[in-house]
Structure formats: C-alpha cells, structure tokens
C-alpha cells in the first residue's frame, strides 16, 4: 500500500507527496514533528502537517532569505536567526567571512536535535564555532537584546499558532530596536496567490516601522503555489539598489548577483499589494 502525505495548509487546495519511509514522528512541547523520506523531494521536515523544508529544494529558501540581506549590508558582523531550527539559514549566513557571530534562536529544541540527526546537509553549520544555538522564545530574545545585531532573519513557520507573534507591527518595532543603526531585517511572508491579505498586511506592518521596505519573490516548489514572498526592512541600505560589484563570490545553487536585483521586479498583481 502506498503512503502519502497530504498537506492542507491552504483551505481550498492541497499538495501530496508519496512517502518512502517515516524516519521520525513525535509530539514535541510545541508541535507535531515528522521527518519523512519522500520519492520526489527526498527527506523533508514536517511540522503540524505542513512541509517546512526538503533536501531537494531547501537551497532556494535558505539562500534567498540569507544572502539578500547579507550582501545588502556593507559589513555584517552579528546575525540573529529567529526560528530556522533546521539550520539552513545559519549555513548560508556563515558563508560570509565578515560574520563573527550567528545566533540561532529556536523555541523547539526537538527541531534542532532531529534535524541534526536526519537533515545533516541542512544543519551542518550548527556546530560551527561562530554559531550559538539558543533554545528559547524569539520574541523575548529580541526584546532583551537592543542595538545588537546587524541582520535579523525571521525564519518562522506560517503565521498561525506558535509563530503568529512573529508576524506583525509590534514585533517589527522590537526588531527595529534590536538592530544596529544600519541594520536589516528579513522575513518569509507567505504566498501572494493564496494569502494576498497576509502578504499585504505584513508588508504594511514592516513599512510602518522601517524607512526602506521591499518585497521580493522566489520559486520554492514545495511551498503552496511554488511562488513565495519575502519582506526586507532596512534602516538605511536599499537591497534593490545596492552596489554588488565588489562583493565576494560564494557557492550557491539559486542566488546570484543578477538575481539579487531582478527578484525585486514584481508582477503587477504583487506590486499592487505593496501600494
């Protein structure tokens, strides 16, 4: 008998994946966690029935959420990743030699532990000497660290349940205060096809706090619609107009310097969400 995962994140649509093997399934303190080996996308992390990352397409998300802000900032030394217990954003952040310290603040220790066991390609940098793993509440952590980080990456699950507090104006004000004087914030901000109201609301909340606010898109096959938005908030530096001519070359599969500029050119219907 074939085994399938049916993801029903979107009310009127679903995505299905044929499962080769269930590697782990457990109820953590915060959520239901599974790591499955699938035929189409390899091993995948699933939280509360929703696909978070897979071996086959994780690089798109992790490269774009990391390199856009890190190449925009002229000298990023200290980076905070809120959520992202799989470690993919940390892996990409530490490709930048200017980064002296990267802090992963993840509320669910089980996510970190199980990803180390079953997703080593993604979590491989969590043991790096420049990385600090802090298990705790990201909202509380941000509140307690003022003017400390050059870059803050909000690598959260979707804005429902435990992650709901990571989306919205009050948290973005806390992030603004946690950043240094020319700091940059970035968050994954859902799909404009299925959740345009969420994309618009989050963008407007960020824009109310940050002098420079931009939205960009990336293609991620395992996320609903395959077309995903990210929102950048910056105190000074414009990610769309940054000079990349003297930046270092790093190994990537999706991000390029040309794409850095091109991803901010939005289809008309998405552009309308930012007006």
To the query of whether residue 238 is one of the catalytic residues in this protein, the response is no
The reply, when asked if residue 229 is annotated as ligand binding, is no
Residue 97 three-state SS: coil
63 is in an annotated binding site: no
106 is in an annotated binding site: yes
Residue 158 labelled as part of a binding site:
yes
For the chain, what percentages of helix, strand and coil (3-state, to nearest 5) are there?
A: 30, 30, 40
- What residues does 79 pair with on adjacent strands? 102, 151
Determine the Cα angle at 12 with ends 8 and 18, to 5°.
40
**Does 87 show up as a binding residue in the annotation?**
no
Catalytic residue among 155, 205, 238, 249: 155
Q: How far apart are CA 184 and CA 75, in angstroms?
A: 11
Residue 114 known to bind ligand: no
What's the longest Cα–Cα distance across the chain? 58
List Cα–Cα distances, 105 to 53, 134, 152, 268, 275, in angstroms.
Answer: 18, 5, 11, 36, 33
Q: Is 137 annotated as a binding residue?
A: yes
According to the annotation, is 243 in a ligand binding site? Answer: no
- Rg of the chain over Cα atoms, rounded to whole angstroms, equals 18
Instruction: Confirm whether residue 110 is marked as ligand binding.
Output: no
Task: Confirm whether residue 86 is marked as ligand binding.
Answer: yes
- The total of other beta-carbon atoms located within 10 Å of residue 122's CB is 25
Length of the chain: 275
Question: Where is the binding site for S-methyl-5'-thioadenosine, in residues?
Answer: 31, 106, 137-138
Report the catalytic residues.
Answer: 155
Question: Where is the binding site, in residues?
Answer: 31, 62, 86, 106, 137-138, 155-158
Question: Where is the binding site for spermidine, in residues?
Answer: 62, 86, 155-158
């Amino acid at each position: 008998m074939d085994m399938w995962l049916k993801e029903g994140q979107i009310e009127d649509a679903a995505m299905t994946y044929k499962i080769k093997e269930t590697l782990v399934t457990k109820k953590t303190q915060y959520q239901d966690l599974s790591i499955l080996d699938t035929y189409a996308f390899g091993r995948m992390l699933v939280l509360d029935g929703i696909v978070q990352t897979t071996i086959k397409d994780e690089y798109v998300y992790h490269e774009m959420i990391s390199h856009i802000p890190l190449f925009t900032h002229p000298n990023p030394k200290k980076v905070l990743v809120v959520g992202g217990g799989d470690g993919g954003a940390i892996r990409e952040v530490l490709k930048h030699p200017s980064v002296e310290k990267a802090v992963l603040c993840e509320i669910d220790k089980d996510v970190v532990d199980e990803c180390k066991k079953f997703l080593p390609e993604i979590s491989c940098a969590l043991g790096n000497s420049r990385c600090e793993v802090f298990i705790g509440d990201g909202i509380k952590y941000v509140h307690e660290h003022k003017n400390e980080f050059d870059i803050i990456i909000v690598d959260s699950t979707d804005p429902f349940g435990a992650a709901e507090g990571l989306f919205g104006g009050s948290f973005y004000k806390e992030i603004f205060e946690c950043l240094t004087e020319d700091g940059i914030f970035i968050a994954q901000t859902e799909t404009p096809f299925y959740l345009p109201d969420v994309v618009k609301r989050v963008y407007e909340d960020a824009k109310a706090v940050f002098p420079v606010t931009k939205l960009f898109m990336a293609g991620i096959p395992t996320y609903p619609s395959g077309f995903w938005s990210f929102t950048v908030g910056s105190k000074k530096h414009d990610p769309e107009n940054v000079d990349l001519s003297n930046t270092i070359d790093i190994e990537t599969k999706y991000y390029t310097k040309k794409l850095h500029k091109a991803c901010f050119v939005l289809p008309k219907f998405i552009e309308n969400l930012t007006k």
